[in-house]
Amino acid sequence: MQIYLDRVQNIQAFSKTSELIFDLLEFSEGSMSEAPSILNRLHEFMKTLRPELVFIIETQYVDKDYRDIYYHYFSTKLQPYRRNCVRLSFFEPIFNNADEFFKVEQKELNKAFRGYLVLRPLANAVIGRNAVSVGAFQNQNVEICRTVLKTTCLGRKLCVRAFPHASQDGEYMTCAETTAWSIMEYFGNKYPIYSPLLPSEIKDTLQPFASERLSPSEGLTIMQISTELEKHNISAKIYSRDNYTNNPAEFKRIFSCYVESGFPLAVSATSPAITGGHAMVCVGRQTIDRTKALSATTLQIGSQTIDYCLWNDNIDNFVYNDDNRQPYKLVPFVKPLEGYENGLDALEISHFVVPLHEKIMKTAEMAMSEAQFIAFKLIKTPPNSVLRTFMASSRTYRNYIASNVDLTTVQKVRCLQIEMPKFVWVTEISTGDEFKNNKINALIVLDATSYNKTRLRLDATLLLIYHNCNGMAYNRKNKNFESFGIAMPQIIESFKGNLK
């Protein structure tokens, strides 16, 4: 294995390093004519990174996903394909050569590590598996789902917080399979109850349900993507735009609520005017400037109406891991393929799949509807208040309570005494000025394991902290709300969120 080191800016300038990487990939003679196209794909990826970053090139790299595809597909062809890849590892510029690299202390090296990119010896799909932190990119105005992905560079153990990404190879893996792979790679590294999937395992899962061959791939339907997730212990929920033709704002509101809750969404974009479609993963949203005024939404609650500023209605731009583009592409909800050519930019979101935990019964639309009813009817939230609804694990939310700077020890202990399930739906309420300062004046916590499709169940309301320093919790024994018995602060610090 040979070792090479350079700066990102040199690839961005199409220096000799780009040609060196092409040579190291050892493409077959038939691919030599595609060298400009291959180098351009590499350049498109690298130009979004910060130019001062240092990268190390490792040759003859064995990538688990590409090697799996190779033995199940490319090795069966007459045309020769290489088995090995090249890997680039990105760092902050704290060293200039290999000697300095090995002398850097482990803690400092991990702190400087920004991720990796596997380059495959495939002319049409050179961008392979990669995990690059948001901090490596020039545009960092995004908040995303992240997990810790472990790796090595020249034998040194490293880890990066990122969301997995790869490009499709167009034959064995299309955008749909890559979407399913990416979500399972994320969950498999984040939670011990799930496992990452090899590309061939995605095919094996769907084979019993297939009515035709799966390789070469013609793509997957949204139902097949959902089935793939379901067969690997994820409780998938499909949403279709066609079910919201009379209220398209609700479709976007639900989408936004799940993103705010930290769920990566499998998204299908289609258009009646174009055959086929495209699949990708929504992994986050644009960073929101809380100092800007939020627009209000008129809500129908029972026979009455009221204007509330719904956080989830005020998010317009979302972050996608699209296998045809670089990671963390920020585009509008109404135009998820903005920038595509040949009319593909006209595609709109038609479906999305939410990968829920099996213990989550209450959906986002149920939680928002219940919280709005409670805010309006029970705690008399005034018009134009800001309502922010999201899901959190009880472990994460209890940690937020325990570390909240605006709660005293007695108040924290009283809140922590409330029994909570594994997941909760939370709605924070604030005035416009409080929202700008990351403060809230009221709080509604709902049981995410309850299910009530047709009526409101107050016993699913675990905690109410509302105006005038009142705090209440539901007593299951007495089947009624009981006061905390202690005064609560008029305002408290807002939950920072599941996205980072």
Evaluate whether residue 170 is within a structural domain.
no
The reply to whether 255 and 325 lie within a common domain is: yes
Measured between alpha carbons, how far is 320 from 353 in angstroms, rounded to an integer? 14
Model confidence band, residue 18 (pLDDT cutoffs 50, 70, 90): confident
Taking alpha carbons only, the member of 93, 91, 147 closest to residue 116 is 91
Q: Is the pLDDT of residue 274 over 90?
A: no
For 101-105, 342-346, 363-367, which range has the lowest pLDDT when averaged over its residues? 342-346
Evaluate whether residue 27 is within a structural domain.
yes
Task: Examine the fold and report which residue of 356, 374, 405 is the final residue of a domain before the chain moves on.
Answer: 356
Pairing of strands 423-430, 442-447: antiparallel
Measured between alpha carbons, how far is 257 from 400 in angstroms, rounded to an integer? 19
What's residue 456's pLDDT? 66
Model confidence band, residue 38 (pLDDT cutoffs 50, 70, 90): confident
Model confidence band, residue 469 (pLDDT cutoffs 50, 70, 90): low
Task: Examine the fold and report which residue of 356, 377, 399 is the final residue of a domain before the chain moves on.
Answer: 356
Q: Is the pLDDT of residue 463 over 70?
A: yes
Evaluate whether residue 191 is within a structural domain.
no
Evaluate whether residue 87 is within a structural domain.
yes
Task: Examine the fold and report which residue of 324, 356, 388 is the final residue of a domain before the chain moves on.
Answer: 356
What's residue 178's pLDDT? 98
Q: Is the pLDDT of residue 34 over 80?
A: no
The reply to whether 410 and 344 lie within a common domain is: no
Evaluate whether residue 173 is within a structural domain.
no
Say if residues 324 and 341 touch (Cβ distance below 8 Å): no
Phi, psi of 91 (to 5 degrees): -140, 155
Evaluate whether residue 293 is within a structural domain.
yes
Phi, psi of 471 (to 5 degrees): -140, 135
What's residue 275's pLDDT? 85
Q: Is the pLDDT of residue 337 over 70?
A: yes
The reply to whether 381 and 456 lie within a common domain is: yes
For 37-41, 190-194, 455-459, which range has the lowest pLDDT when averaged over its residues? 455-459
pTM score: 0.95
Q: Is the pLDDT of residue 29 over 70?
A: no
DSSP state of 376: I
Six token digits for residue 408: 């005293």
The reply to whether 240 and 330 lie within a common domain is: yes
The reply to whether 351 and 467 lie within a common domain is: no
What's residue 100's pLDDT? 96
Q: Mean pLDDT, to the nearest integer, of 125-137?
A: 97
The reply to whether 328 and 380 lie within a common domain is: no
CATH code assigned at 208: 3.90.70
Say if residues 316 and 331 touch (Cβ distance below 8 Å): no
Evaluate whether residue 171 is within a structural domain.
no
Say if residues 387 and 253 touch (Cβ distance below 8 Å): no
Taking alpha carbons only, the member of 82, 17, 95, 88 closest to residue 59 is 88
How many domains, in total, are found in the chain? 3
DSSP string, 12-60: HTT-HHHHHHHHHTT--GGGGGGHHHHHHHHHHHHTTB-TT-EEEEEEE
What's residue 347's pLDDT? 96
What's residue 32's pLDDT? 64
What's residue 365's pLDDT? 96
The reply to whether 383 and 477 lie within a common domain is: yes
Say if residues 400 and 415 touch (Cβ distance below 8 Å): no
Model confidence band, residue 36 (pLDDT cutoffs 50, 70, 90): confident
The reply to whether 10 and 149 lie within a common domain is: yes
What's residue 468's pLDDT? 66
Measured between alpha carbons, how far is 391 from 170 in angstroms, rounded to an integer? 36
The reply to whether 327 and 469 lie within a common domain is: no
Place of tokens 């792979």: 181
SS3 404: coil
Q: Is the pLDDT of residue 476 over 80?
A: no
Tens of pLDDT along 211-249?
999 999 999 999 999 999 999 999 999 999 999 999 999
What's residue 235's pLDDT? 97
The reply to whether 151 and 34 lie within a common domain is: yes
Residue type, 259: V
What's residue 427's pLDDT? 97
The reply to whether 278 and 343 lie within a common domain is: yes
Range of the structural domain that residue 435 is part of: 364-493
The reply to whether 154 and 229 lie within a common domain is: no
Tens of pLDDT along 156-177?
999 999 999 999 999 999 999 9
Measured between alpha carbons, how far is 343 from 459 in angstroms, rounded to an integer? 51
Evaluate whether residue 499 is within a structural domain.
no
Q: Is the pLDDT of residue 445 over 80?
A: yes
Model confidence band, residue 459 (pLDDT cutoffs 50, 70, 90): low
